[in-house]
Amino acid sequence: MFIALIILTAPQIFRGQTVKCPKLPDKYKWESGKEYKRDEELVLRTLQWLTVTPLSSDILLRGKANLFVMEWICGSPRIEIRIDSDILPFYIDYPDLLFPYIHGIARCKLGKKTDCSELQAMISGFECVAYMIQTDEELKRAKQLQPIVKAYKKNKLEPFVESLMKNKTEK
């Protein structure tokens, strides 16, 4: 019984842990696959910090970290991120949630030893968005965002994302 309780609460425990932003270089430049590979672990740790740090916390450091990972992602030969804004219910009214969405996708694609499917990457992106909504007082009150949080809390993000994709193809 005790072991089952630990297993069931493990995701909440890990989310609640304080993660420190890694030391980011003042200057960085990537020109080859080898240079991107060199900084991959730093990018992954930075993504970890970005995905567990509320949007309203450490705003200046968050901006610097976001710029660092976004520049790395944009040039990295290892990962490709496709974003279809038509299926993102938050995109128009809450465009700041696009960054956590991208961070979740990138974490999925970089953190897995095997390939991260497009569906799994999108689910990862929505997990990150749901977490950010729950940690922000203003976003928590937005009715438009509640279906994301509801699907996340009920562990139903996969069918939620699949329905968004299906609705787009039916239009």
d(CA 49, CA 138): 21
What is the average pLDDT value for the chain, to the nearest integer? 88
- The whole-number pLDDT of residue 13 equals 41
Domain range list for the chain: 2-170
- The whole-number pLDDT of residue 8 equals 38
Question: 4 pLDDT exceeds 50?
Answer: no
Q: What is the mean pLDDT of residues 11-26?
A: 71
What is the model's pTM? 0.85
DSSP 115: P
CB 97 within 8 A of CB 68: no
Task: Show Cβ contacts of residue 120 under 8 Å, excluding neighbours closer than 6 positions.
Answer: 108
Higher local confidence (pLDDT), 119 or 14: 119
Q: How confident is the model over 69-127, as pLDDT tens digits?
A: 999 999 999 899 989 998 999 999 999 999 999 999 999 999 866 678 999 999 999 99
